[in-house]
Structure 1
Amino acid sequence: MERSVEIADNPLRLAAGKERRFKLSQAGRKTALGYLFLSPFLILFIMFTVVPVVQSIYLSFTYYNMLQPAKWVGLSNYSVLFLEDDIFIKSIKNTFVFAIIGGPLSYCLSFLLAWIINTLRAKMLFSLAFYVPSITSGIALSIVWLYIFSGDRYGLLNNLLLSWGMISEPILWTTDPDTIMPVIIIVSLWMSMGTGFLVFLAGLQNVSPELYEAGSIDGISSRFQELWYITLPLMKPQLLFGAVNSIVAAFGVFDIAVAIAGMPSPNYAGHTIISHLFDYAFIRFELGYASAIAVFLFFLTFGLGRLVMKLLSSKDL
């Protein structure tokens, strides 16, 4: 009796199995279609990001000058980099000073301006005004700033300070090692209203006004309470993107530093990691040593980016 019932149930089981296989194959086709649409990006990403990173890691263990085949030297480049290259150590210090001061300032300033502009009526006009410097060439903007920070008495800032009696002689803003880094940070802040600024502005505009109305009913009485209890928690994806973007931009400073202080800068006061990399890669053509610098910078920014992602991300993302 039990066997006959089992045989009778077999067609139903076979039909259910076929249906499951059909659903699985249908899901597989959707997955394959998704990867098909992703394939152009994946191919370009692998060709222009993954392959160069792997190649740089390999070249960092070699001596390579573009004229001769790469010669394996092991950890020699890294030992020279960290134990004998005093200029590289100074470039790390300068880069960290810039990143610690300029990075958070740029991040907070971008969010603050986006928050203020979001409350204005002419937000599109103000957004364009703050975004334009980020898409303008750093070399072009540095010409304007070099006039402002000119070291003679005809420079705009020196002229104002002299006329107000605040200084007795012109300050050599771009040649004095003590003032080079502050000038670079100021110019970089002016040009930092880029992608992060637009992402913050878009995130602020996506917060539903109904949430603020519900918050006012629950006892929120000021704009800062709205910002802390409603806006910031809902903008974690945008805050995360802006933080990672600020880290990459802070550790990648180069063109502004070179345009302001020259290459090399006086007493290497504006020398950054990217400047050191550029020096060995495109001036001395020691590509193995330059690759070691690039690998160090890659793992440094990658590690800091993962740390920020762990701090700002949540299970809701």
Structure 2
Amino acid sequence: MRQTTGGELLAEFLGTAILIILGCGSVAVAVAGLPGSGRQSVPFGAANWLIIAWGWGLAVVFAVYVAGGVSGAHINPAVTLAFAVRRKFPWKKVVPYWAAQVVGALAGAAVVYAVYHDAINAFNAAQTPPVTNRADSLATFSIFATFPASYFGGVWWGPLVDQVVGTAILVGVIAALIDRRNQAPQSNMAPFMVGLVVAAIGFTYGTNAGYAINPARDFGPRLLTLFFGWGNKAFPGNGAWFSNYWWIPIAGPLIGGVLGILVYDLFIGQVLTARQAPEAAPTPEPGRVPGTAEQPAKAE
């Protein structure tokens, strides 16, 4: 099993779990783990947001280093879908990869909850008035899953566009970083650069809707919040200004991932292909991701 797709699924599971353990862990620090954090609530202060943005960026770096040599470290269903559409990644592996990613995200969220449940309880008890029902705590829910900013006013298309654009940026830049015909990073630095992309998206687009930009990153931890008392904040995503939100961090990234790789191929990839002598074309390697030594797949 480990010599075939089963081994790749194990890598996707562990890589996505590492992503969530470190990423959601950084949010837990910002919300409930810092001294005095029991007096804080959403929205986050600037210092807290720096912890979160850098935490998620570094989470991606180490998740890709963990899984990249086996599965290519997609760790994101949007990346898997985009690579199936434009990088000849086998379609028969798409759903198994998605399943491994979601289960890995759920497992990672369970680790974060096991470590921080005392801090979560202390945070809720420190509120004025004390929060006795987790379903009433948007701040602690935000440790695990995302929600839109109040200025969207409950309209779904604003957060959806945010997720499409954020994921398009992510996948489009990943396409550039793994394209050795372009200016791909050397010395196995691609995972670090991908992490910087995620940090940059957090700094520039993160406050609109929590920059899930990854269906597994949101859906897996959201399942955990459903199991452990956050109720309808998880599904269907009901709150003071948002309802039925759960599907947006799934649909938006899947659309955005495909859009991002199509835009890269249209504006850059096809230009590089046209300028490249046929004998110098790189050897296709379907669906490989940042950080591996193999040549990336040529766009269709």
TM-score relative to the length of structure 1: 0.24
TM-score relative to the length of structure 2: 0.25
Q: Is the radius of gyration larger for structure 1 or structure 2? A: 1
Which structure shows the higher helix fraction? Answer: 1
